Amino acid sequence: MWQIRKPQGHANEERPTPSLAERQLMSVGDAGAFAKRDVHTDLKVELHQRLLDLINLSALDSMSREQIKDEVGEIVEEELAKQNHALNLAERRRLVDDVLDELLGLGPLEPLLKDATITDILVNGHDNVFVERFGSLEQSPVRFKDERHLLRIIQKIVSAVGRRVDESSPMVDARLADGSRVNAVVPPLAIDGSLLSIRKFAKVPISMARLVEIGSIPEPVSEVLRAIVASRRNVLISGGTGSGKTTLLSAFIDNRERIVTIEDSAELQLQQEHVARLETRPANIEGRGEITQRELVKNALRMRPDRIIVGEVRAGEAFDMLQAMNTGHDGSMTTVHANTARDALSRVEQMIGMSGIDMPARSSRAQIASAINVVVQVARLSDGRRRLVSLAELTGMEGDVITMQEIFRFRQTGISADGGVIGRFEATGIRPRFLEQAVAYGQTLSSDLFRPETRFE
């Protein structure tokens, strides 16, 4: 019956000795914990600690959550009785659930992770948690008991992917089992307590059809994007942080080619079957074994890719990516952090400089101009909504300058009473050169789309 209880007299055995960083944080945490003490949080963390003393952790693996729940429920009852806590049935149930979350999951983060309306979770110290819903940030009532509790959850997340976080490596990227992207920074780099940022993995990836439905991309423009991909144009998606670059990149391609993806932290959700995914690796404790995006791009060329997709270019790999685009791997794509299409090109130019290859500015630009065909700019506008705001085409070089022409743009005309952005998409009137290529690939696009008077509401 008592599968998970330890034999008597063995309590305390498995409580881990706190690490140096934890001990340091304990003092920080305990000093700060006076602030918003919440009885429920205290109780569940206390009960969780008590359970760690009482139960045999290795038995948990072979039991279902329901089985564990029954037994944990009984232990919780006993402990509550001992401590004279009067809780009603609903409160007790919630407590057992929360204790289970502590024991089996990521504690206070669990309800936020389960809530499908939340897209980002931002923890700024143990008692200050924000979430993003429908494009806007709001404070969440969720709290950790203290810094130490938060740090324990962070350790649990990063150790699951074989990484660690402590004074000597206080910043870490990780991923949750469901694919959500995680970044954690702990003291001393994080001044007011550990910082945890989670970009949740959308359970249902946002498809092109969905982007059209929610008004991020007008239907006709999505058709143009489709034709651009089908006719193997090389695409750079540019946007600010959290503007929807990765999402658009994922929605972009849906066909049956062999795609090799390269990412620092895998988060692309491509819809097709034939995807070979690669992810970089940070250096180990001795500073060895690092594999960069650059090396992965070079390796990808030997994997017979039809297209190469780099999740986001940040440094020297931009050079290898352009090389790949220029040497027959057309139809490749990447994203870059920039606020306009023009900026995106300058960023890529800077990145070529970071590759350590000494190239005159003009040659770098010529590389860019011949490799990249289309720049798609996305943005998160002031109302929190994400939109495609510009689609531009590179046309070559004039002197030392890359020439580019905008084909579609979003023009903001005002703000509604409730803060919504009012505006419309419009064609600039320029007939893109990629049309010709599209036709060669059997893609038919009405040339009406590109007339200057064309508006998409």
Ligand X SMILES: Nc1ncnc2c1ncn2[C@@H]1O[C@H](COP(=O)(O)OP(=O)(O)OP(=O)(O)O)[C@@H](O)[C@H]1O
Q: Which residues bind ligand X (CB under 6 A)?
A: 119, 199, 202, 206, 211, 214, 216, 239, 241-247, 312, 386
- State the nearest-atom distance from the C-beta of 248 to ligand X, in Å: 7
48 vs 245, which CB is nearer to ligand X?
Answer: 245
Q: Which is nearer to ligand X, 149 or 386 (CB)?
A: 386
Residues in 110-139 at the binding interface with Mg ion, rule: CB under 5 A: none
Q: What does the alpha-carbon distance between residue 350 and residue 10 come to, in Å, rounded to a whole number?
A: 60
CB 181 to ligand X: min, Å: 8
Question: Does residue number 246 form part of the binding site for Mg ion (CB under 5 A)?
Answer: yes
Q: Which does 365 bind (CB under 5 to 8 A by kind): Mg ion, ligand X, none?
A: none
The entry of ligand X, Mg ion, none that residue 170 binds, CB within 5 to 8 Å by partner kind: none
Using alpha carbons only, what angle is made at residue 377 by residues 363 and 401, rounded to the nearest 5 degrees?
Answer: 25
End-to-end CA distance of the chain, in Å? 65
Question: What's the CA gap between 55 and 48, in Å, rounded?
Answer: 10
Which one, 99 or 206, has the nearer CB to ligand X? 206
Question: Binding partner of residue 216 among Mg ion, ligand X, none, CB under 5 to 8 Å per kind?
Answer: ligand X
In the bound complex, what is the minimum distance in angstroms from residue 410's beta carbon to ligand X?
12
The sign of the CA dihedral 421, 422, 428, 434 is positive
Which residue, 313 or 322, is less far from ligand X as judged by CB? Answer: 313
We find the least distance from the C-beta atom of residue 366 to Mg ion, in angstroms, to be 28
Q: How far is the CB of 204 from ligand X (least distance, A)?
A: 10
Which phi and psi angles does 5 have, rounded to 5°? -80, 145
**What gap in Å lies between CA 205 and CA 90, rounded to an integer?**
35
**Least spacing, CB of residue 214 vs ligand X, in Å:** 5
Q: Give least dist CB 241 to ligand X, A.
A: 4
Q: Which is nearer to Mg ion, 85 or 314 (CB)?
A: 314
What is the C-alpha to C-alpha distance for residues 450 and 408, in angstroms, rounded to an integer?
8
Residue 305 partner contact from ligand X, Mg ion, none using kind-dependent CB cut-offs of 5 to 8 Å: none
Nearest distance in Å: CB 335, ligand X: 6
Q: In the window 216-245, what residues touch Mg ion (CB under 5 A)? A: 245
Of 400, 346, 343, 403, the residue nearest 373 (C-alpha): 403
User: Whole-angstrom Cα distance, residue 16 to residue 382?
Assistant: 47
Partner from Mg ion, ligand X, none binding residue 202, C-beta < 5-8 Å depending on class = ligand X
Give Cα 342 distance to the centre of its chain. Answer: 25
Cβ nearer to Mg ion, comparing 98 with 264: 264
390 binds Mg ion (CB under 5 A): no
Compute the distance between CA of residue 67 and CA of residue 74 in angstroms, rounded to an integer: 11
Part in contact with Mg ion (CB under 5 A); list of ranges 202-210, 246-254, 255-263, 415-423: 246-254
Instruction: Choose between 187 and 244: whose C-beta lies nearer to ligand X.
Output: 244
Q: Give the residue with the Cβ less far from ligand X, 211 or 278.
A: 211
Residues that bind Mg ion (CB under 5 A): 245-246
